[in-house]
Structure 1
Amino acid sequence: MSEWAPKRFWKKAETAKTEQGYSVLLDGRPVRTPAKAQLHVPSVAIADRIAAEFDAQEDRIDPRTMPFTRTANAAVDKVSIQHSEVADMLADYGDSDLLCYRASSPDELVERQAEQWDPLLDWAAEALNARLHPRVGVIHDPQDTSSLKTLRTRVHALNNFELAAFHDLVSISGSLVIGFAAKARAFDAIQLWNVSRLDELWQEEQWGRDEEAHEMAEHKKAAFLHADCFMRLLDE
C-alpha cells in the first residue's frame, strides 16, 4: 500500500471523525491497511497515536516504530476476518492458564506463587464468575467446564480491536486471567507483567541473569505494555 512505501511522501498526518469512528489522513488522504482497507479506529486517542507515529517518521519509514498502527492494522486485516478462530485460540488458554500450574518445591517458590497468583484467581472468580483452580506440577488437569465456558463467552464478546490487543496480553503472559485483569484495569500493567514472569525472576535470583533471555524478555515486556495501553485507549 502507498502509505507503507519505503520513503515518506506526506507532509502532515491528522485525525478525522468518520461514520465508522476515526481515521488518519496523510495530506488529506486516508491511511489504508496492508490489505488496502481504509483504516478506521474506534477512539480518537488511538487515531491520535497512529497519526503521531506517521508524523514521527523521517525520510524512510520504519514500521517497527509504529506499534499502534500495526495493532490497528491487525484488527482490521486479520482479526475481523477470523474473529471466532482467534477468540477460540485465546479462550483455550483458560484450561492451561499459567497461574494454575504450581511448583511443589522449594517452599519459598511455592509461597511466592500462592501470594502473587492466588489474588488473580480470586479476582477472576468474583469479577468474571469463573473459578480456576491451582494444580501442582505441569501435567494438564482440566478445569471446570462451566468456568471455561464463561471465559470463552467473554472472549468472543470482545470486538476486533479489543481482541487484537487481548491476543498479545494473553499470548505473551501465558494467562487468560491476566489478559482479562489488564482489560478490566483491575491491576497495574507492570504488576501483571511481573506476575507473569514470576518463575523466570525466581530463576534469575537463583542462578543469575542470562543476558540474552533478559533482552528477549524486555522486548516481550514492551509488547505487553503496548497491548495494555492500546486496550485502555480504546475507551478514550
Structure 2
Amino acid sequence: MSEWAAKRFWTAAEAVAQGAGHSVELDGRAVKTPSKAPLVVPSRAMAEAVAAEWRAQGERIDPMSMPVTRGANAAIDRVRVQHAEVADMLADYGDSDLLCYRAEAPAELVSRQAAAWDPLLDWAGDTFGARLSPRTGIMHEAQDPEALARLRREVHALDAFDLTAFHDLVSLSGSLVIGLAAERGAHDPEALWAASRIDETWQEELWGADEEAADVAAKKRGAFLDAVRFLALARAE
C-alpha cells in the first residue's frame, strides 16, 4: 500500500519476516509507507502491532487509530533520511530544558518543582555526566557546553526508530532529560508525564480545569505513552 486509503480493501493482515526485519502483508501484498518505501520494522513485536492496527480497522481507515503504523512510516520516510537534523533539533532542548526553569514563587510550586525535577537532573548527571543547572525565571541562560555535548551524543546514538519515539517524548514534555529518562526506562512513564505537567496542574488547582485544555492535555498524554510503547516494540527481541 502506497498511501492511506479511504476504505478498507483487505481481509487479512499478517506480520512476516523480511530479511533482517519484519513487514506486514495485506492479503499477501506488502504494506508500503506513504513515500512508497517498504514498511520494514526492526522487531516481530512491532510488525504484529502494525498488523493488529490494520486488522482493527472498520469499513473506513482511521490513521489516528494506528499510532504504531504512523510511527513506523515516520521513522522510514522522514527520520531515517534526516537523522542528524532531527537529533540536533531534539538535543537543542537541553539548553532550555523545562526542568531548569523554576518559579520564584509561590513556595508550594517551587517545592513541587524541586521535588520532581531535581532527582531527574541528578539522574542525568549520574548517568551521562551531564548535570544541567536550574535557574529561576524565564530568561534563557546557557547551560554548560560539555554537559550539552554529552547529552547530544546520546541523542545522535539513537537509531531511526528509537529517534522517532524520542521525538515525541521530548517535544511533548518539553524536556530532553525527561525524554532520556523515558528512553532509558529509568522512571515510570506516567510519573514522567506528570512531572512535565507540574506548572499546568498548579494552574488548574488555582483556577479550575478548562475543558478544551484538558482535552488537549489528554491527547498529549496519550501520544507520550504511545511513544513509550513504540520504543519498547522497536527494541523487543
- Partner SS, residue 22 of structure 1: strand
- Partner SS, residue 25 of structure 1: strand
Aligned residue in 2 for 1:9? 9
C-alpha distance in structure 1 between counterparts of 2:61 and 2:42, whole Å? 25
Aligned residue in 2 for 1:118? 118
Aligned residue in 2 for 1:78? 78
C-alpha distance in structure 2 between counterparts of 1:218 and 1:180, whole Å? 22
C-alpha distance in structure 1 between counterparts of 2:105 and 2:28, whole Å? 61
C-alpha distance in structure 1 between counterparts of 2:202 and 2:60, whole Å? 42
Q: Aligned-residue CA RMSD in angstroms? A: 0.9
Letter in 1 for 2:196: S
The answer to whether the 8 A contact 1:20-1:41 is kept is: no
The answer to whether the 8 A contact 2:2-2:35 is kept is: no
Aligned residue in 2 for 1:198? 198
- Structure 2 spans left out of the alignment, 5+ residues: none
2:162 pairs with 1:134: no
Q: How far did 1:2 drift? A: 4.7
Aligned residue in 2 for 1:230? 230
Q: Percent identity?
A: 61
Aligned residue in 1 for 2:221? 221
C-alpha distance in structure 2 between counterparts of 1:114 and 1:81, whole Å? 39
Deviations 1:77-110 (A, max 9, x none): 0001111110000000000000000000011111
C-alpha distance in structure 2 between counterparts of 1:179 and 1:206, whole Å? 28
The answer to whether the 8 A contact 1:13-1:54 is kept is: yes
C-alpha distance in structure 1 between counterparts of 2:98 and 2:229, whole Å? 22
- Partner SS, residue 78 of structure 1: helix
Aligned residue in 2 for 1:102? 102
- Partner SS, residue 14 of structure 1: strand
Letter in 2 for 1:233: L
Aligned residue in 2 for 1:170? 170
Displaced runs of 4 or more, over 3 A:
none
The answer to whether the 8 A contact 1:20-1:40 is kept is: no
C-alpha distance in structure 2 between counterparts of 1:124 and 1:44, whole Å? 32
- Structure 1 spans left out of the alignment, 5+ residues: none
C-alpha distance in structure 2 between counterparts of 1:183 and 1:199, whole Å? 23
Q: How many aligned positions are there?
A: 236
Letter in 2 for 1:12: A
C-alpha distance in structure 2 between counterparts of 1:203 and 1:220, whole Å? 18
Q: How far did 1:3 drift? A: 5.7
C-alpha distance in structure 2 between counterparts of 1:147 and 1:198, whole Å? 25
Deviations 1:107-127 (A, max 9, x none): 111111000000000000011
Q: Where does 1:5-84 land on structure 2 (aligned, <5 Å)?
A: 5-84=5-84
C-alpha distance in structure 2 between counterparts of 1:193 and 1:226, whole Å? 12
2:119 pairs with 1:143: no
Letter in 1 for 2:76: V
Letter in 1 for 2:5: A
Q: How far did 1:20 drift? A: 3.5
C-alpha distance in structure 2 between counterparts of 1:19 and 1:224, whole Å? 31
- Partner SS, residue 104 of structure 1: coil
Alpha carbons of structure 1 residues 16 and 3: separation in structure 2 relative to 1, 3 Å: farther
Q: Where does 1:180-195 land on structure 2 (aligned, <5 Å)?
A: 180-195=180-195
The answer to whether the 8 A contact 2:2-2:36 is kept is: no
Q: How far did 1:19 drift? A: 1.2
C-alpha distance in structure 2 between counterparts of 1:146 and 1:180, whole Å? 17
C-alpha distance in structure 2 between counterparts of 1:13 and 1:128, whole Å? 42
C-alpha distance in structure 1 between counterparts of 2:215 and 2:120, whole Å? 27
Q: How far did 1:60 drift? A: 1.1
C-alpha distance in structure 1 between counterparts of 2:128 and 2:16, whole Å? 36
Letter in 2 for 1:212: E
Letter in 2 for 1:63: P
